[in-house]
Amino acid sequence: MPDKKIIVVVDDITANLTAAKKALSGAYQVYAVPSAYKLLALLDSVRPDLILLDILMPEMTGYEAAKIIKENDDFREY
């Protein structure tokens, strides 16, 4: 059986993370992350196939996180 694709879900609302993980974990390996900062740290060790990124979050918005990811040569493929 092939390895499951990896999805990272980023949202500051715990209920949204729980719902996404419950809905997706049957078919995918899901990482639920509560902030953009934690996403950036996770990307040091995990290479997801898809990132589902909330836009309105405190401290760093999803737009800011996406910009950082796109500017980093290691993450440009995302």
Question: Tell me, what CATH number does 24's domain have?
Answer: 3.40.50.2300
Q: What is the pTM of this model?
A: 0.89
**76: in domain:** no
Q: Read off the pLDDT of residues 14-24 as tens digits, 9 standing for 90 and up.
A: 999 999 999 99
The count of structural domains within the chain is: 1
- Using alpha carbons, select from 49, 54, 51, 45 the residue that is nearest to residue 69: 51
Residue 56 lies in a domain: yes
Beta bridge partners of residue 52, listed in sequence order = 9
Could you count the other beta carbons within 10 Å of the beta carbon of residue 77? 8
Q: Which domain holds residue 17?
A: 6-71
pLDDT tens readout for residues 10-65: 999 999 999 999 999 999 999 999 999 999 999 999 999 999 999 999 999 999 99
- 77 in any annotated domain: no
